[in-house]
Amino acid sequence: PAEPARRASCPGSRCPPERTPVCGVPDDAPSPVLPSSLPSSGHDDVSGNRPRIVLFGDSITEQSFGDGGFGAALADRYRRHADVMLRGYSGYNSSDAVALLPHVFPLDDPTPPVLVTVCFGANDAVKPDSGAARVQGCPLDAYARNVRAIVAHLKKLKPPPRVLVMTPPPVDAEAWQAFRVARGYTAEEESDRELSRTLEYANATMAAAREGGAGVVGLDLFGKMVTVKGWERCMSDGLH
């Protein structure tokens, strides 16, 4: 459809056609000048851009912008103050994350994020005898090294962001298995996850966070959730 004609009192594109301008700015008014206190350039050379918060993780992070998700909550909490950017990758483990670091967080970024959340481990913790282990699994010691490598890389950014390292949440193995079978994802008779194994990865996550030093904080999602009676009802499919 043809673009609606702009009202005579609306200079250029400052006021969208569907709104009635209240300022009465003349057509030849100069463009507003940004305050000198704002940075001259931001990410992607966008003048005066807002600070960035980057959510880095697997599918748990990828789905965090859904209804009730922590990503959506952060975007709401920091609206008009920071841009919350999603970098969640379904199916990825911590080794995949390390390979992504130069691309998601280049060390020559002139305006690195002010805060990064890191949440992996749910896929790393698949049972070693499961069909998913070949693609997603990561031994516990290698996982711990990967988390430390992620933190170390982020601390090399200038200036370094604050880093919130989150453990994988608990897994309801039976519900996850039922979900996989119902969706036709597997013919295996047993779940590829187990609560006790995920706990080991959660503990390794917290240990790596404690080693991160200043500006790095660990958040024990596993420990906090399992203390809630009926925590299984918080999961959409047993894993997420």
Catalytic annotation, pick one of 31, 59, 94, 196: 59
**CB 173, CB 236: distance < 8 Å:** no
Residue 66 has φ and ψ, to the nearest 5°, of -75, 175
Q: Which position has the token pair 């940075």?
A: 39
* H or E stretch at 163: strand 162-166
Q: Which residues contact 112 (CB under 8 A, 6 or more apart)?
A: 52, 105, 157, 158, 159, 160, 161
| 59 classed as catalytic | yes
Can the peptide bond before residue 159 be classed as cis, meaning omega within 30 degrees of 0?
A: yes
**CB 237, CB 177: distance < 8 Å:** no
| Helix locations, 167-194, DSSP H | 173-182
**Nearest-10 crossing angle of helices 140-155, 195-210:** 30
C-alpha span between 197 and 138 (Å, rounded): 12
β-partners of residue 190 are: none
Closest CA to 30 of 47, 49, 12: 12
What 3-state DSSP class applies to 54? strand
**Residues classed as catalytic:** 59
